[in-house]
Amino acid sequence: MLEVRRSFGERAEVKGRAFKVQDREQFDQLVLPHLRAAFNLARWLLRSREDAEDVTQEALLRAFRFFSGFRGSDARAWLLQIVRNTCYTWMEKKGSMGSNVEFDESLHLSPMPGPEAQAVSGSERERLTRALELLSPRSREVLVLRELEGYSYKEIATITAMPIGTVMSTLARARERLQELLAPPARKEAARDV
């Protein structure tokens, strides 16, 4: 079956044996190098560079405050965990969660020149960006962590606090949906009729 043998218990072990770090210098060395990854995740979750700037700053401050509690070897994953939590808190505050579970068709399949029509025009990067932004936050999150960060399912499960099976199914649905959004309109109609 899936390699769920690498279970969550491992996290506790890592906690137990790892070093304890506290001061600013170590924070600069261990955490700050991952600033771009932090900003990238925030940007994709929030769909806005401006919002991502604010939230990244907040997240880094939070990370610094929690830093004395950081025991582990993967500062990047630790930071991304804080970034995504800060993003979700921010979205809840702003009421911009949309549907947090899955893509809401009724919301997004608006009449011409709806977002989907836009998603198929423009450069490859623009099309992908628009299509990604139509996905739910959870789908965007797992896609970014998998495709842009290259994290394993288990690492994604740790960062997002989702069970590993949910990571897998969310990722599968997100990719299928992305493909649909990127398909030429004719093929999409055909696909919907099925």
Partner 1 sequence: MTCEENRTILHAYLDGELDAPRSAEFEKHLENCAACVRALEAQETLRSKIRHADLYEPLPNDLESKIRRQLREASAPVPKRFVWQWLAAAAAVLFFAGISWRYLPKFGADSGLSASAFASEIVDAHIRALQPGHLTDVASTDQHTVKPWFDGRIAFAPPVKDFAEEGFPLIGGRLDVLQGENVAALVYGRRKHFINVFVWPERAGEAEQYTGSKNGYNWISWKQGELRLCAVSDTNRDDLNALKDLISR
Q: Please, which residue, 43 or 138, has the CB nearer to partner 1?
A: 43
Candidate list 64, 89, 102, 118; residue touching partner 1; CB under 8 A: 64
Structure tokens at 69: 């509690």
Residue 70 interacts with partner 1 (CB under 8 A): yes or no: no
Q: How far is the CB of 74 from partner 1 (least distance, A)?
A: 18
Binding to partner 1 (CB under 8 A) within 127-186 occurs at 128-129, 132, 143, 146-148, 152-153, 168-169, 171-172, 175-176, 178-179, 182
Q: Which residue has the tokens 């769909």?
A: 47
Cα→Cα distances 63→22, 57, 125, 167, Å = 11, 10, 32, 24
Burial 103-138 (b: 16+ CB within 10 A, else e): beeeeeeeeeeeebeebeeeeeeebeebbbebbbbb
Burial class (CB in 10 A: 0-12, 13-18, 19+), 194: exposed
Binding site for partner 1 (CB under 8 A): 1-3, 24, 27-28, 32, 35-36, 39-40, 43-44, 49, 52-53, 56-57, 60-61, 64-65, 124-125, 128-129, 132, 143, 146-148, 152-153, 168-169, 171-172, 175-176, 178-179, 182
